[in-house]
Structure 1
Amino acid sequence: MTITYPRKIWIVRHAEREDNVNRHWRKLDGADGLASDNSMLSARGKQQANECKNRFKNAQIAHCFASPFDRTIETASTIIEEKNLKVKAEGGLCEALYLCEKPPGFWETEQLAEKFLLVDTDYVPVYSRYTLPKEACGDDACVKRVGDTLRKLFEKFEGNLLLVGHGASIGACHEILMGDFKYVGQATVSEFEETAPGKYRCNFSSDSSHLSDKKI
């Protein structure tokens, strides 16, 4: 396979999650405390995801990858639903592991595909629930894992790529691609250009121009 340069790498943070606005979403789960960190999108989040879809309406996306949480898969599925694409559920793009209360029994591809019709059941992820590394506390502890993931995805898949992740994993993407860990807003878009193997340019970061409601 020959990868043609330059190419675009779009990175989107998931849209607003239900537990951002509904404190009662989490349910007690016996002795283990709160339920796992797997909220769906809120009503506002669904609108944001649709606005992301409109933004990418004419974009030529070759492959779409998303962290295997409901909020990221739903965001990605909405963006590509009118394109001839599937969402590749990639554990390497998940949140910093210290923030996941029970990572991640809900990551099985078959279970995701039952919930989200556009999940690619043939995709073999760089990191599955069984191969995630041990990570320390702190959002930047995921940098190595995210870096390994990006390197393997960029080497294996050609064309323009869309990645949907979380605050910490997208911060890690910024550190890897531009040398600066950066937090971005929900449903915002960052665009990088790979000009040659391993050479990247940031065209813009955390852009919210497509969102009708820009408040955080």
Structure 2
Amino acid sequence: MSRTIWLVRHGQRVDNVDKKWKENNPTKWDDPELTIRGKQQAHEVGKHFANMNIEAIITSPYTRCIETSAQIAAMMENKSTKICVEPGFQEPLYTSMKPPGVPSMEKIKEYSTQIDESYKPVFEKLPEEVKGDLGCADRVVKTFKEVALKFPTGNIIIVSHGTPLANIHAFLKGHWKYVGQCTICKVTDMYGQSFRLDYWSDKRHLSQTHDLREDERITPQMPE
């Protein structure tokens, strides 16, 4: 017996197209929203999953991931699917504000009525990390394994960022590989005994498949 863990990167973010966005938003430079295209991408991911039996969506707390998760959940026929906010899947700390500029739970709840406030995250507070894209690897892999145990039977979707997902790829396949925005990856979980990566960064559900930033990082950025 097995179940499926789906991996999705958030959609296009506003600073991908507005190069001055971070400069113009100094109090939340690490938390850009989705663009119109990003919301459409997330909507198309939701259409892909609409008829599937999904127990939960586990998401990074950043706004772009919450918006992506909310779009996916809104498209599902199963309205009992919950969105669980998991800090363990957020960006590496070296790319974030101190503390990370993630929205409050009250703000997060404005995006969807399906936020599960009872969910107990793997990390209430993130541990210290070394700089570089590999710095979050232990945290992300621990979160991935423990989330799999928290939802031991149902199919789940994890919504995260390029670098954390690349580190999950390294855990599954032994090498680091980036993923396109709002592409879909399929992992078969043999109920905790083993994980099998079936496909990575699939884009067939998207109406526009150019400029998904899957080549944003060919290799991990190492600490200086």
TM-score, normalisation: structure 1:
0.89
Say whether the 8 Å CA contact 2:28–2:101 is kept in structure 1: no
5+ residue gaps, structure 2: 212-224
Is 1:99 the equivalent of 2:95? yes
Aligned to 1:211: 206
Q: CA RMSD in A?
A: 1.7
Aligned to 1:72: 65
Say whether the 8 Å CA contact 1:67–1:93 is kept in structure 2: yes
Say whether the 8 Å CA contact 2:93–2:100 is kept in structure 1: no
Secondary structure (helix, strand or coil) at the match of 2:102 reads helix
- Distance in 2 (CA, whole Å) between partners of 1:145 and 1:95 is 11
- Distance in 2 (CA, whole Å) between partners of 1:106 and 1:57 is 28
Secondary structure (helix, strand or coil) at the match of 2:21 reads coil
Say whether the 8 Å CA contact 2:67–2:111 is kept in structure 1: no
Secondary structure (helix, strand or coil) at the match of 2:8 reads strand
Give the % identical residues.
37
Is 1:50 the equivalent of 2:43? yes
TM-score, normalisation: structure 2:
0.86
- Distance in 1 (CA, whole Å) between partners of 2:11 and 2:119 is 24
Aligned to 1:23: 19
- Distance in 2 (CA, whole Å) between partners of 1:118 and 1:21 is 30
- Distance in 2 (CA, whole Å) between partners of 1:26 and 1:168 is 19
Secondary structure (helix, strand or coil) at the match of 1:135 reads coil
Alignment of 1:103-118 (within 5 A): 103-118=99-114
Secondary structure (helix, strand or coil) at the match of 1:201 reads strand
How far 1:87 sits from its partner (Å)?
0.9
Is 1:139 the equivalent of 2:126? no
Aligned residue identity for 2:30: D
- Distance in 1 (CA, whole Å) between partners of 2:197 and 2:205 is 18
Aligned residue identity for 1:155: L
Say whether the 8 Å CA contact 1:178–1:200 is kept in structure 2: no
How many residue pairs are counted as aligned between the two chains?
207
Say whether the 8 Å CA contact 2:31–2:101 is kept in structure 1: no
5+ residue gaps, structure 1: none
